[in-house]
Structure 1
Amino acid sequence: MGFKQLLAFAAAVVASLVVSAQGSDFPMYKLSLMWPSSVCIPRSSCKSPIPTVFTIHGLWPSCADGKGVPPYNPCANKCFANPTSPANILAPLQPIMTDLRRMWPNLYLGQSDEDFWKHEL
């Protein structure tokens, strides 16, 4: 998958998250991409094969001042009333699991893609 397809996927993810977070106190999401060849120095620290396209590192809600959103608090954050915990996030991701493995892989040895996603979500 090329860079244009990755950006299209990221734009779709951002759009869906923005729609689902209507009324929130955070006005934007920060999309962080990685260039695997740069991240995997030394190469022995990463899984093989190392992807040859930009991959997603994370997508984080951010406040207008650029600071990250604090942990979920129903009194302080106008977010989801019942957010999905990281421990339960894999079931809703099943329909896009193949795409996630390709576009949002964990590069490092010793951690699965699923563990990486739980940490990043």
Structure 2
Amino acid sequence: MSLNMIPIIIIFVGLLLASSSCSYSTPNNTSYYKTPTPTSPSLSHDSPSPYHFPLLKKGKKKPPPPPQPIVTPFEYLKIVQTWPTTFCKVNKCINPPPTTWFTIHGLWPSNYSDPQPRLCTKEKIDWSTFSSLVSMTDLRKYWPRLDTAVRNDDLFFWSEQWDNHGTCSSMHPPDFFNLAFKIYHKKELKTILQNEGIIPGGIKPETSQKIFDTIETGIGGFKPQIECLRVQNKDYLYQIKLCLDKTGDKYKDCPGPLIKCPMDVYFP
């Protein structure tokens, strides 16, 4: 051992002696060890699961779906329009005829083959509420009874049309008459004819085919029905019938016969 190591050994021995005579204490309430994390208590089968979510409360029941629409006992609608001047050549009317436009004869639920629907239900028009739902002014103007000036007879005419045809439409009276007006105002037949030079009151006759073709073009290429009346050896344009789907929204081809007129007819 070299002399240089002696002082180091003396210091080391002194430190050992000092440590044996002293003790270290930790401050009160101080621990140098982590407190062990308590373990979760075991769960029995009867204990609720910590991951259990309560069931959502059931909401209100959904409203039932709307009832299915009534199956209508017909295949298409036909609106029948009359030229008053011709009608009054064979019927007693006020003079002159009350209108100078085509008037509504009726809106007829129809089938492509017989029998045609008629008198389908016993529902009647309730006149006490009808006038608040349907324009009586429009009824008298566009759907008049042409052969009388007594307005009370209009009620009989409208009731007759409802009983015979409207009861087969699967509608109540106000809806039926309002639909007829909606269809009627889709196309103005007199204007369609005049635009092609077919003017009422003409001295010379027109061909029935030209009248048919003009109406067909005027309603979008769908086939109408035209009907004439023979009075004193002359044939006059009497009625034009247009066919539509059951909702009244779209025109359709009418079934034959399409032209119930001779070759030459007058438009009085």
Q: Which residue of 2 aligns with 1:103?
A: 142
Aligned residue pairs, count = 90
Match of 1:119 in 2: 160
Scaled by the length of structure 2, the TM-score of the pair is: 0.29
1:69 aligns with 2:110: no
TM-score (norm 1): 0.60
Matches for 1:82-93 after TM superposition, within 5 Å: 84-86=123-125, 88=126, 91-93=129-131
Q: CA shift at 1:64, angstroms?
A: 3.3
Question: Does 2:52 align with 1:52?
Answer: no
CA deviation vs aligned residue, 1:6-51 (integer Å, no higher than 9, x gap): xxxxxxxxxxxxxxx75213121111110000000157x1124521
Residue number in structure 2 paired with 1:78: none
Greater RCO, CA 8 A, separation 6+: 1
Q: C-alpha displacement at 1:54, in angstroms?
A: 0.3
Greater than 4 Å deviation, 4+ residue runs = none
Greater share of residues in helix: 1
Instruction: Report the counterpart of residue 73 of structure 2 in structure 1.
Output: 25
| Match of residue 14 from structure 1 | none
Cα pair distance change 1:89/1:60, threshold 3 Å? farther
TM alignment of 1:34-49, pairs within 5 A: 34-41=82-89, 45-49=92-96
Stretches of structure 1 that go unaligned for 5 or more consecutive residues are 1-20, 74-82
Identical counterparts, % of pairs = 31
In structure 2, stretches of 5+ residues that fail to align are 1-68, 163-268
Larger of the two Rg values belongs to structure: 2
1-structure distance, mates of 2:83, 2:118? 28
Residue aligned with 2:106, SS? strand
